[in-house]
Amino acid sequence: MLSGLLSEMGRHNEALEMAQRYTALAPADANAYDTLGLAWQMAGQYEKAELAFVKAIELDPGFEIAWHHRTVAWVQMGRERDALREFLRRADAVSGQDRGRYWMHAVWLYWRRGRIGEARATLAKARQLYPRLKSFPPRRRHSSLNPAA
């Protein structure tokens, strides 16, 4: 957590140092590598972030947040097509909150790429599978995605 706070403050070198210490102290802990990946990501080093997230996934294939963070890094690296495929694939493979997170990122990527019809269809499917999405997205910010708007 301290690494994340340092990153948010723009103190990337200190954040990276803390995250690297964490991986040294807990080399078999997926969360340690996810934390390192987030520090690299916040520093704008997306390729290094991806490597850390992959290590976290190798240590614990069920650690969904690392899968999510890795896919977000792909977006930041300009690999939107790969990210979209992965968000949809993971949304079909998991349940609960993780599923909702993947669906919403897929909606966002469709929308970002100007594929509004697919964004709306994906949002409708997401709402059927994950009822907590009924009030998302806020109408005033993303009204083009909200079929009821």
Instruction: Compute the distance between CA of residue 22 and CA of residue 26 in angstroms, rounded to an integer.
Output: 6
**pTM score:** 0.80
Provide mean pLDDT across the span 46-74.
95
Q: What is the mean pLDDT of the chain?
A: 85
pLDDT above 50 (res 142): no
Structure confidence by residue, pLDDT tens digits, 80-134: 999 999 999 998 888 777 888 888 889 989 998 899 999 999 888 888 777 766 6
* 44/63 same-domain check: yes
pLDDT band at 140 (very low <50, low <70, confident <90, very high): very low
pLDDT-based confidence at residue 141 (cuts at 50, 70, 90) = very low
Whether 94 and 113 share a structural domain: yes
| Residues 141 and 89 placed together within one structural domain of the fold | yes
For 47, residues 6+ apart whose C-beta sits below 8 A from its C-beta are 77
Q: Among residues 51, 78, 105, which one ends one of the domains?
A: 78
Out of 54, 78, 102, a domain closes at 78
The pLDDT tens digits for 116-130 are 999 999 888 888 777
Residues 114 and 54 in one domain: no
Task: Give the integer Cα–Cα distance in Å for 140 and 130.
Answer: 22
- Before 61, cis peptide (omega within 30)? no
Number of domains in the chain: 2
Cα 125 to the chain's mean position, in Å? 20
Which residue range forms the structural domain that includes residue 32? 1-78
d(CA 11, CA 9): 5
Could you say which of 22, 44, 78 is where a domain stops?
78
